[in-house]
Amino acid sequence: MTIRLGERGIRVVLLDIEGTTTPIAFVHEVLFAFARTHLQSYLDAHRDSGEVAEVRNRLAVEHAADVARGDAPPSWSIGTGDDAIRSIAAYASWLMDRDRKSPGLKLLQGLIWEEGYRACALSGEVYDDVPGAMRRWRETGVAVAVYSSGSVLAQRRLFESTPHGDLMPLVDRLFDTAVGAKVDPASYAAIARALARAPGEILFVSDVAAELVAARQAGMAVVLSVRMGNPPQAAAGEFEFIRSFDEIG
């Protein structure tokens, strides 16, 4: 073990998902691909639902902001019926092409994945060292929380359906970008308040240096996740790093 939580006064381990608990390839090649493939069929099947209405409301606001910034997203229909569904599908595809951390898109993807998990067409994936580490931390009185750009619903379904079984009993809290962007220090301050912990009692683990910078500015301890397949980080030398959760004890 290279990072001893007790010696550092850490009471919560806050985890990113993509590239930290879960391979990037799974997120991009399985989850994102599933959402793209089932986008149109989901919208067609649920066009009159409250969930799709909420997605449309969120995406309409984001679309207007994109236009105001001078971007060129697909046209947006203020109508209803097929025109509205076509607008949602075209804009969501445009956002996915750009890997946008869009709240509206994340909500829509989470709804599509929810159907996939319920139909057993999807199941979650985590690195083999994740379940044991979560159990070990909790046995020593350290809570486990997750902060991901994916929706809380999507996070829950992923951890519930892993080959290691349901890991949600090992997770105390889930956070998504409803608390703010992952590169904004204020988001981490809000998470610390929600957990009723001083920022210095929380260790944030992520594969993205910009997120670690933001968490550190908020006062959290941070460590870089260096997993097989993760892209190199320009500022990697600024951080302690781990290649496995076995190095955190």
pLDDT in tens, the chain (249 residues): 589 999 999 999 999 999 999 999 999 999 999 999 999 999 999 999 999 999 999 999 999 999 999 999 999 988 778 899 999 999 999 999 999 989 999 999 999 999 999 999 999 999 999 999 999 999 999 999 999 999 999 999 999 999 999 999 999 999 999 999 999 999 999 999 999 999 999 999 999 999 999 999 999 999 999 999 999 887 768 999 999 999 999
For the chain, the first-to-last Cα distance in angstroms comes to 6
Provide CB contacts within 8 A for 48, sequence distance 6+. none
- Listed as own residue / partner, the contacts of 86-92 with beta carbons closer than 8 Å and 24 or more positions apart are 87/56, 88/43, 88/52, 88/55, 88/56, 88/59, 89/39, 89/40, 89/43, 91/59, 91/63, 92/39, 92/59
Cα separation, 150 vs 157, in Å, equals 11
In Å, how far from its chain's centre is CA 85? 26
Domain regions of the chain by residue span: 5-22+124-247, 28-118
Tracing tokens 């933001």 back to the chain, one arrives at: 214
Instruction: Say what angle helices 103-118 and 33-45 make with each other, to 10 degrees.
Output: 90
CATH class of 5-22+124-247: alpha beta
In Å, how far from its chain's centre is CA 184? 15
| Tokens describing residue 35 | 């959402």
CB of 126 closer than 8 Å to CB of 162: yes
Q: Which CATH number applies to 28-118?
A: 1.10.720.60
CB of 201 closer than 8 Å to CB of 223: no
Residues in the chain, total: 249
